[in-house]
Structure 1
Amino acid sequence: MGKIVIFAWLLVLVTATLPAVNSKYYSKTQTFDAPATLKKTHLHFFFHDTVYGANKKPSSILVAKPKKVVVQEGNIGPFGAVYVFDDPLTVGPDPKSEVIGNGRGMYASVSRGSDPTLLFNGDLEFTSGEFNGSSVSLFSRDPIFGVKEVAVVGGRGKFRMAKGFALLNTIFFNVTSGDAILEFHVTVIYY
């Protein structure tokens, strides 16, 4: 027993005299060889968000809501309501037009005031054409009314390390159901 106590004290003394670990939250900045030219692509498509819908097959569902607040079908506005979505992306505004991908993510109502605002977090993946298997990632505040600008913060596939912006315009909104069709004009800059 005495040998264990002596060993423990030696271990304490040795570790107490060691210099403190100097950890940092960043690494040394290094340069890297990047391609000399950046690419820029403009994307234009439509995003169909069905919160309730006539066919009762929603592509957006409520997953969290504020306590003691009743959220009516189609009312995406109460502060604190969170929805997840898996919405089709199409070439035209008609829901029956050609599907070119899907948008998956979540949005939350983040405004307590008279300016209804969502926080939009989504990955828009393309499943056909030149960008099949690639996606752009968006994250930004999204005022419900008017033309909105949402930040492109990354991407996958051909859009890896993308940046840019998306202009969203609501071309259809059903106040009763909450269903919406948004027109996306996306400018993507990538290597």
Structure 2
Amino acid sequence: MRGNAALATGMTSLLLFFSSMPICQAKLGLGEPKVSQIEFYMHDLLVAEKPTAVIVAEANTTKSSPTLFGQVVVVDDPLTEGPELTSQVIGKAQGLYAPSSQSEISLFEAVNFVFTDGKFNGSTLTVMGRNTILHTVRELSIIGGSGTFRLAHGYILKQTYSLDTTTGNAVLYYNVTVIHY
């Protein structure tokens, strides 16, 4: 009996908390949430005159791992409107990724998209998640943002547009759905 009372009290507390969120948003002057759709390309350049993705750590076993497990890569990749590196630059992807599976090719990613031009200039989106790079379309979570994207949440759908298997350089297409205030 005591367990049921505790459960009921806990559920009531959660219900009150979540029902008060719109009131808190109104008091903060956030207004109604907006949904933005954004498309862009990211250029991950491991081998270039000026690389934008740099391996900063490797485990002793990384070179013998078929998945590169234990490697850490830091990125400062350009974001462009089109798939060509000469397209209009709209920002940077800054963060890191690391192969995180010993049995399949997948990455853990934590990246900030820093917009430096266009409609979202001065704003950021923070993205985190698992990228199973052999899948055609991958989904990662938007876990925050700043500027226009304050209190952002949503998801990105990521696809490999092109990949140079000799250098590892890649162009990735992003279709972003973000909910913000």
Compute the TM-score of the two structures, normalised by the length of structure 1.
Answer: 0.77
Give 1:152's match in structure 2, choosing from 142, 149, 152.
Answer: 142
Indicate the residue corresponding to 1:63 in structure 2. Answer: 56
Identity %: 36
User: Residue type of the partner of 1:45?
Assistant: F
Max radius of gyration: which structure? 1
Contact 1:76 1:178 in 2 (8 A): no
In structure 1, C-alpha distance between the alignment counterparts of 2:117 and 2:85, rounded to whole Å: 17
* Aligned length, in residue pairs: 158
Contact 1:171 1:183 in 2 (8 A): yes
3-state SS of paired residue (2:127): strand
Deviation at 1:36, TM superposition (A): 4.8
In structure 2, C-alpha distance between the alignment counterparts of 1:130 and 1:144, rounded to whole Å: 30
User: Residue type of the partner of 1:63?
Assistant: V
Give 2:131's match in structure 1, choosing from 138, 142, 149.
Answer: 142
Unaligned runs of 5+ in 2: 1-16
Instruction: Give the alignment's Cα RMSD to 1 decimal.
Output: 2.1
Q: Which 4+ stretches in 1 moved above 6 angstroms? A: none
Contact 1:76 1:109 in 2 (8 A): no
3-state SS of paired residue (1:97): coil
Contact 2:62 2:71 in 1 (8 A): no
Unaligned runs of 5+ in 1: 1-28
3-state SS of paired residue (1:47): strand
User: Residue type of the partner of 2:35?
Assistant: K
| 1:184–1:76 distance in 2 versus 1, CA, 3 Å | farther
Indicate the residue corresponding to 2:24 in structure 1. Answer: 33
Indicate the residue corresponding to 2:180 in structure 1. Answer: 190
User: Residue type of the partner of 2:109?
Assistant: F
By percentage of residues, which structure has more helix? 2
| 1:190–1:76 distance in 2 versus 1, CA, 3 Å | farther
| 1:33–1:142 distance in 2 versus 1, CA, 3 Å | same
User: Residue type of the partner of 1:42?
Assistant: Q
3-state SS of paired residue (2:119): helix
Q: What is the CA deviation profile of residues 78-116 of structure 1, one whole-angstrom value per residue up to 9, with x for unaligned ones?
A: 101000000000000011001010110000000111x20
Superposition pairs for residues 94-105 of structure 1, below 5 Å? 94-105=84-95
Give 1:50's match in structure 2, choosing from 34, 45, 48.
Answer: 45
